[in-house]
Amino acid sequence: MKAIYLPYPITVLLFALLLVIGCRRTVAPYNPCRDAVPFKAGLQISEIRGDSLVETDTVLINTTVSFKALSPMSIYATFEYRIGVMDTITDKKEVRLYFDDRNVSPGDLIKVRLIAKGEPNLACFPNSKTVDTVEKSFRIIHWKDAPIIGKYAGYFGSDKDKTDRQVVEVRHIKADSGYTYGSFDLFNIDKGCNSTITNPYLLPDPYNVFFTRTGARFMVFIGGGDSTGGSFTFVNSCRAPSGVLLLKGRDTVTAKFTYSKSRSEVTTRINETFEGIRIK
């Protein structure tokens, strides 16, 4: 059989045509509803830790609570909060209220209703409603009933091989004439360098409305005091650890903090972590 040879330009043209046909991809048409979400109200009830929120369903008496409307919802939404027996609060995505023993008592269950009104995306969700309601509740508790109280066994982050199991304890100190609901002590977060942090920031403070440092599920600890004039004070601790202990779920705590190597080396702070599981 005699072979047929095509001229070089035609060969190149056919090769290019086959290459284009082989590489052609089908481009899907633009779908404006691909990332759309239906209009729906969401509500988060939280304790306040600095600039962060810690979601919870139990709140220590004499603390501030955040009520925050969550996405997905229309950017044009308006809100109505009905919190306990208080008057309706409108047109705020987040509301913060202080619950002290002048208006609530330990054990009280506070019911919350959020009514969100908005303009739904009817082009993508033709059956979407324009008003959505969500209801939640939380309970006011005595400081002695804080769920973070307990003993937690685990390891510090610097213990890479997990050979030195430690126990960190959050303990409630009973009430006295000065503090109606008591206070908290945190033990062994400094890994045995004296056992107790007596922390003035862990006391119930009815005047500290917007800067709560202690909650049912978190503690901000400072080893006897924060830096003053460039130096740390060391009370009941030779390392002056400062950071946050956070309860996750029911039985796990995590901590992120810094500490000083010694009293003579206070300016260089060392980063440390801890994670433990409840044992009591």
Q: Considering the domain boundaries, does residue 196 fall inside one?
A: yes
129 and 164 share a domain?
no
Is pLDDT above 90 for 85? no
Is pLDDT above 60 for 18? no
Greater confidence (87 vs 250) lies with 250
133 and 151 share a domain?
no
Greater confidence (25 vs 207) lies with 25
Residue ending a domain, choose from 141, 163, 197: 141
When divided into structural domains, the chain yields a total of 2
164 and 269 share a domain?
yes
> Quick one: pLDDT band at residue 19, thresholds 50, 70, 90?
low
Q: What is the pLDDT, as a whole number, of residue 194?
A: 54
Calculate what percentage of the chain has a pLDDT beyond 70. 72
Q: Considering the domain boundaries, does residue 13 fall inside one?
A: no
137 and 173 share a domain?
no
Which CATH number goes with the domain that contains 123? 2.60.40.10
61 and 133 share a domain?
yes
89 and 157 share a domain?
no
Contact assessment for residue 110 and residue 138, using Cβ atoms and an 8 Å cutoff: yes
Residue ending a domain, choose from 141, 160, 188: 141
Q: Considering the domain boundaries, does residue 83 fall inside one?
A: yes
163 and 256 share a domain?
yes
160 and 64 share a domain?
no
Greater confidence (86 vs 158) lies with 158
Q: What mean pLDDT do residues 145-157 have?
A: 96
Question: Taking all residues of the chain, what is their mean pLDDT, rounded to a whole number?
Answer: 79
Q: What mean pLDDT do residues 128-134 have?
A: 88
Give the structural domain span for 134: 42-141
